[in-house]
Amino acid sequence: MDFYIGAATAAHQVEGNNLHSDFWVMENLEHTSFTEPSLEACEHYERYQEDIDYMKEAGLNAYRFSIEWARIEPQKGTIDKSEIQHYRDVISYCKKQGLEPIVTLHHFSSPAWLIGEGGWENSQTATYFANYAELIAKELGSELTYICTINEANMGVQIAEVAKMFMRQMGIDPQVGLNLALPADLQKEQDEAREILGFPEGEIANTFLSMRTDFGNDVIRLAHMKARKKIKAVNNQLKVGLTLSLYDIQLGDDSAEALNEAEEKWQNDFRDFKSAIEDDDFLGVQNYTRVIIDKNGSQSAPDGSILTQMGYEYYPQGIANVVRKVAKEFDGKIFVTENGVATEDDAMRIQFIDTALKELHICRQEGIPLMGYLYWSLLDNFEWQRGFGMKFGLIGVDRKSKNRQIKDSLLFLGQAGKEIFE
């Protein structure tokens, strides 16, 4: 089968005890905005062989996971060789079990020291990240084919869009509202974080998931391009790309206002990154739902819609729509690096996967160079500020014992993927 069917995870969300990470600091503050801390997460750091075995047994042939920068470089300039060996072992075990290891170098979490230096609003971060990428390419590149530099490089843009939407709904001019003082609890969180992380007075902790400025977007693009150049200099055979979070943007009416806002959103989410990815070997496309825009802006899900635990409209057709749209503007191979649904109902998850795969198979028949489909997520994991309540996983994880509970959806993914794409 010349198509990858697999699952994805992110280090901080599944490994546990990521002590030197910015999010570890943020989620353990007294006035944290996180529902709960990650703690041991899913203990995937220790149990990765077990989890890879489950994927193999289900018939998957690819595993996308991230290497945690905060483990590799816990203090600025200090490299932990034992952590490099850990990820070498994960890669080796994937290959032993017949799974293609697809590595992401940055999946939201960063070393805590980086935030003290201005985080993702500091131009120097692009150089720091590129140096880290070069290190991984030198140490592990000979064992890899695919490297994603940055996960959802446009996420800060989308976070800012959501904030602006809520401000408009409250009658606040977004241009004014973004400069307002933080609410008391968030200000306390930032004050605590400043004491630990050391960023300057008057600034916020510029993590990867902070509302990003235009300058911050420039830093992200530069970080990717510098990293790609360094990786290719080490090993030109490595396939390099990044991933973008993309909504299936649909028009609710034919008004000029709707058309203009839809165009602006696509510009912000995708086109603003085109110059940074034009020399990439592939693009990772990630989609979870659609957004409907009419003359009044982005609308809530239509009446009667099924909503996921994340509050998204259940809309598995969205991924194929996005792939088609991207293929019109990106001259390269496309990889679905994330797509999934948060629900306790595994039958709903199976139906979601079935619909997504069948629609993507049509994309392939249309000639779109689609390389694979990686479901999010392998495990019920730590979903950032929302904690462990969001059930995306193909495998359940008992919160106390961390024992695995294999869901029917894992087996379905392997079987359906083979049947549809062979």
Residue 344: which CATH number? 3.20.20.80
Position 175 scores a pLDDT of 53
Residue 91 pLDDT exceeds 80: yes
Position 160 scores a pLDDT of 77
CB 348 within 8 A of CB 314: yes
In angstroms, the first-to-last Cα distance of the chain is 5
- For residues 136-150, give the mean pLDDT: 98
Position 176 scores a pLDDT of 45
Sequence-ordered list of residues with C-beta below 8 angstroms from that of 353, at least 6 positions apart, any chain:
316, 375, 409, 412, 413, 416
- Report which DSSP code applies to 182: P
Strand partners, 251: 293
Q: Can you give the residue range of the structural domain that contains 264?
A: 4-421
3-state secondary structure of 72: helix
- For residues 135-148, give the mean pLDDT: 98
- For residues 291-297, give the mean pLDDT: 96
Name the maximum alpha-carbon separation found in the chain: 58
CB 76 within 8 A of CB 103: no
Comparing CA positions, the residue from 410, 104, 124 lying closest to residue 284 is 104
Cα(12)–Cα(39) distance, integer angstroms: 10
Six token digits for residue 376: 């999010």
- For residues 58-74, give the mean pLDDT: 98
- For residues 61-79, give the mean pLDDT: 98
Residue 157 pLDDT exceeds 80: yes
263: amino acid identity, one letter: E
Position 422 scores a pLDDT of 86
Position 29 scores a pLDDT of 97
Residue count of the chain, please give it.
422
Residue 167 pLDDT exceeds 50: no
Cα(385)–Cα(422) distance, integer angstroms: 39
- For residues 304-311, give the mean pLDDT: 97
- For residues 386-403, give the mean pLDDT: 98
Residue 1 pLDDT exceeds 80: no
Sequence-ordered list of residues with C-beta below 8 angstroms from that of 14, at least 6 positions apart, any chain:
41, 42, 44, 377, 378, 379, 381, 382
Position 184 scores a pLDDT of 85
CB 125 within 8 A of CB 73: no
3-state secondary structure of 183: coil
pLDDT level of residue 161 (50, 70, 90 thresholds): confident
Cα(312)–Cα(288) distance, integer angstroms: 8
- For residues 305-312, give the mean pLDDT: 97
Strand partners, 133: none
pLDDT in tens, 175-198: 544 454 678 888 999 999 999 999
- For residues 311-317, give the mean pLDDT: 97
pLDDT in tens, 209-268: 998 999 999 999 999 999 999 999 999 999 999 999 999 999 999 999 999 999 999 999
Cα(240)–Cα(335) distance, integer angstroms: 12
pLDDT in tens, 11-47: 999 999 999 999 999 999 999 999 999 999 999 999 9
Position 171 scores a pLDDT of 57
Position 164 scores a pLDDT of 61
- The average confidence (pLDDT) of the chain is 95
Comparing CA positions, the residue from 319, 328, 308 lying closest to residue 355 is 319
- For residues 269-291, give the mean pLDDT: 98
Whole-number percent of the chain with pLDDT over 90: 91
Position 169 scores a pLDDT of 52
Q: How many structural domains is the chain composed of?
A: 1
